[in-house]
Amino acid sequence: MSTGTIVLKDCGPVAHLEIPVQPGATILRGTSDLGKSETLKAISRLAGGDDDVTCREGAARGSVEGFGVKLGLTKTTRRTGQLEVLAVEEGFGLGTLIDGDGLKQPERADAARIKALLRISGVKADPAAFHSIMPGGKDEFDKLVPRDALETDDVVELARRIKAAMDSQARALEKQADTEEGKAQAYRNAGDGLDLNASTDAASLQRDHTEAVQDYATIKAEWDAWHNAQEAAKAAREKLAAATGGGKTVAEYQAEEETKKTAYNAAIERVKQLRADLLLAESESKAAYESHAAAKNQVESARQTAAATAGWQEAIDAAAGVKCPQAETVEAMKRMVDAAQKAIEDAGVIREAQRKVGLAKEHTAEAEKLRDKAKSLRNAGRETDAVMSALVASPYLKVYGGRLVTEVEGRGQVLFHDRSDGTRTRIACMEKLHRIREINSDQLALIPIGQRQFGDLSPAARKELIQWAYDNNACIVSAVVDDSPELTAEAATPLDPSPAMR
């Protein structure tokens, strides 16, 4: 394992300080205002960062030198040489990754962390990186994402806008799907209480109705004929009874006529014989004549009555011959007509219900299609996380829901922001070392950590971090505050920890 020393001369408030660098850690110790923070900045600048480093007040010049690089400090800082240790400082301060630039809102803190990781990866805001999240590729992407949403240099904001566009489109489609489902439900209810499998053929139903009407007309005509015959018979019986009640027959009237005729003739003879009794005979003759005339009238009346009664009898006899259909048959025929008519009416209702049920299926299918599309868009929106994770290119951190997450055995994905200070610091160091190892897998790696971040760690977390650095040929450089009146730099390894680590 390689080792070395970084020497500060007239740098910030520090007149002279030698800082050992070896696998494990180097801890700056001392009370406040001795220059610990300035020293860490100087080391970061030596490793390629852009921190401001100044010459000590009153000194003409200062320097920071180590591992093949020298910083000349005057009014400006001049860097010369080639660093013989590995470091990644430019655009990748561990403070941002550990505490999100101190931002209180977790979402904003994670946004700052993601931006830091993207900067170190050299990622630019390019919408083309997100084209693959759409099944239709760039063409579908361009249709769904407003052009003005893509006008940003911030990759995190670009991903947020793209996801927002996908979610907005998905909500619109889901709303349309709800509308289609509402229409489907309204049409679907149209078939409630109806036998949608019943015949609805208008021609067939009309034939059934016509046959039922004809059958009913036939049986109704029979019924009417019988009923009319019965009424005629009843009237005839009444008239017959009235006409014959207490009367004489034709024969009786004829016999009576003969008797009176004889009496008339006898009276004539008597007149002839008894002219003496002329007045009486004439009177009797006249009476007999009148009686005979009345008898003739009665005969004629009897003949007329006999003719009428014969007609009435014929009506009575005819009524006896008329067949009477059963009332149940007539009613059954009437019900058949009514049923045929109702079938025609129901067929129209059923056809309309069938049409609406068909529309319900169409609207349901359209609703499903819209929901599938909305689901696809929401999935596409979630895929922005996969794109961001790929752009971040970290083996330890992923993007989920716009937040940084870590995989924890037995717990799944856990928000990086919610991990302990020690865990976040260790993961940040691992991430930085990963970037360094992409350059060289063996050389000593230099990893400066801010005093505040290191100071927030528990003693156990510090020991764990030193062990990790030692095992991975890395040197963590940081600082702690104690009561020492002078600034010192102490090496710390798992076998020989610095007092500051305890």
Q: How far apart are CA 70 and CA 61, in angstroms?
A: 13
Is the distance from CB of 7 to CB of 65 less than 8 angstroms?
Answer: yes
Are residue 330 and residue 415 in the same domain, yes or no?
A: no
Position 464 scores a pLDDT of 87
* 262, part of any domain: yes
Kind and range of the H or E run holding 448 = strand 445-448
Q: How many Å separate Cα 111 from the centre of its chain?
A: 32
Q: What is residue 370's predicted lDDT score, i.e. its pLDDT?
A: 92
Domain boundary among 294, 310, 335: 335
Q: Is residue 436 part of a domain?
A: yes
CA 124 to chain centre: 37
Q: What is the pLDDT of residue 368?
A: 94
Per the structure, the count of domains in the chain is 2
For 169, the token pair is 């489109």
Task: Give me the pLDDT at residue 487, please.
Answer: 93
Last residue of a domain, one of 299, 314, 335: 335
Please report the pLDDT score of residue 84 as a whole number. 64
d(CA 338, CA 216): 10
Tokens representing 82 are: 């080639």
- Of the candidates 335, 352, 372, which is a domain's last residue? 335
Q: Residue 192: is it exposed, middle or buried by C-beta count within 10 angstroms (0-12/13-18/19+)? A: exposed
List, run by run, the mean pLDDT of 10-residue segments along the chain (502 residues). Answer: 85 94 93 91 83 88 90 86 63 75 90 87 89 90 92 92 92 93 84 68 76 76 77 76 62 74 71 56 62 70 69 69 74 82 80 84 92 92 93 92 92 92 86 80 83 84 88 90 91 71 51
Note whether residue 340 is domain-resident: no
Give the pLDDT score at 446: 86
Domain with 491, as residue range(s), is: 4-122+394-501
The CATH number assigned to the domain holding 413 equals 3.40.50
For residue 240 the two structure tokens come to: 């017959």
Q: Would you state the pLDDT for residue 93?
A: 64
